[in-house]
């Protein structure tokens, strides 16, 4: 495999769009459930950004059983490098801002539709 193809596979796609939040909301505390949601969202975004590298490894690993450890080592390294590049602090902040944005939408909805006793 040439170096250009290898570098293209290791480079993740564009990051996900995320809403801009005011600095005070960026530091807001999240519940454990929301933190898990942030981690899952970041993982999904990284997988979608590295779909080519993951497909490249998957094609190799589908051909072998035990020999996948030796035969597909380069493929695995390329996939892991892409995932490492796709999981940065900025990506975590993007995922966190998406989750906080969802929480703000829910809060706004609750404020606009107050509960009625009767």
The string of pLDDT tens digits covering residues 40-67 is: 999 999 999 899 999 999 999 999 888 8
Domain ranges of the chain: 31-112
Closest CA to 93 of 17, 6, 26: 26
Q: Which two tokens stand for residue 88?
A: 């940065």
Mark out the alpha helices in the chain (DSSP H runs).
Answer: 3-10, 23-26, 32-49, 51-61, 68-71, 73-86, 89-112
Q: Which residues contact 34 (CB under 8 A, 6 or more apart)?
A: 99, 103
Tens digit of pLDDT per residue, the chain (118 long)?
778 888 888 888 887 776 665 555 555 678 889 899 999 999 999 999 899 999 999 999 999 888 888 999 999 999 999 999 988 888 888 888 888 888 888 888 888 887 777 7
């Amino acid at each position: 495999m040439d170096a250009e193809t290898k570098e293209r596979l290791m480079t993740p796609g564009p990051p996900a769009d995320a809403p801009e939040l005011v600095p005070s909301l960026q530091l807001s505390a999240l519940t454990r459930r929301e933190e898990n949601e942030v981690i899952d969202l970041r993982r999904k975004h990284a997988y979608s950004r590295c779909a080519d590298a993951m497909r490249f490894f998957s094609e190799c690993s589908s051909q072998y059983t035990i020999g996948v450890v030796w035969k597909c080592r380069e493929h695995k390294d390329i996939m892991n490098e892409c995932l490492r590049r796709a999981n940065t602090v900025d990506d975590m902040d993007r995922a966190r801002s998406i989750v906080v944005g969802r929480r703000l939408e829910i809060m706004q909805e609750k404020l606009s539709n107050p509960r009625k006793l009767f």
